[in-house]
Amino acid sequence: MPSKPIDNDAEQRFQLAAGASRRIVRQSRTHAERVTARLSDWINAVPATISTPCGRDKVQALAGDHLSSFGQRLEHLEAQCNAIVSHLSGVQTLLFSDPFQMLPSVPIARAVAEISASCAWELDSRVDSDERAARSYAMAFRSIETVIAQLDGSEAEQLEQLRERLVERLRSQGYGVVRKDRDGVTTNEVVQVKVGRRYAKIGFQYSQRIAAEIPALGSLYASMSGLTHGEPSYLATNWGTPDAVARLLGVVTLRSVEAWSVAIHRWIGASNPPFTNRGHYEDLMRSVPEAHRI
């Protein structure tokens, strides 16, 4: 039986997209490693003044108002930075594999987008210190509630006790904690935190968070989820082709790491220079089939 003819146009598109994405991911990983390595020193060097969002948060923490939330924010940020570096390493490994590991790379890139969006939301320099504090507490409660839902027995009880201690601490500081109401019955599950006049909900959908924090990826997130979950409508269309996935990885990595980096640099009051070559993104766009270009 004769072999299937090679689609030279598709192969050329893939080589162009894969080459550009490899360079973008490599440069993004290098940038993320540098930021992560220096972040602790940068934060320590920020003075406790109102000149920067981080400085304003430090003022509140030193006054005793947001000390716990500030500490939790730093713990979250360290974990998020390490996770982004690790996931970028995974994307890079799969992008350079031969043959190209197309589908396994998508959920890892999706994780980069999710972490970046949550980091941008928690550090948001557009809101005040009270709201950032509420968001940090919300992130802490979400972690606790998520793990409680997955456990039972003594392990779940320990986390429930941890949740109640955190609730008690917040209420002792005059903050509000809202429990979940189920059919008129108040449960122990926490659904919202109030600090001053600012609220933060515990629950959210990643699709909504990414649409808010990284709007350029709103529609692409649905595509990543479709490919990750094996939805036939995505696997059987152009999204299931090697050049489309290679292009997806480059765009998602670039926009996610940009949002993560901008959020950190704005919070500490530092400039955020470009970390990739603009030409790589242009190569990604040139790899799009002419019929699908805007």
Q: Which helix (H) or strand (E) holds 131?
A: helix 129-150
Question: What distance in Å separates the CA atoms of residue 47 and residue 105, rounded to the nearest whole number?
Answer: 41
| b (16+ CB within 10 A) / e for 55-76 | bbbbbbbeeebbebbbebbeeb
Name the one residue in this structure whose structure tokens are 């060097």.
Answer: 45
Question: What distance in Å separates the CA atoms of residue 15 and residue 294, rounded to the nearest whole number?
Answer: 21
pTM value surpassing 0.85: yes
- pLDDT score recorded for residue 128: 96
- pLDDT score recorded for residue 10: 85
Q: Which of 245, 259, 250 is nearest to 281 (CA)?
A: 250
Question: What distance in Å separates the CA atoms of residue 269 and residue 16, rounded to the nearest whole number?
Answer: 37
Question: What distance in Å separates the CA atoms of residue 27 and residue 77, rounded to the nearest whole number?
Answer: 21
Write the pLDDT tens digit of every residue in 7-25. Answer: 568 889 999 999 999 999 9
Query: Which residue positions in the chain have pLDDT lower than 50?
Result: 1-6
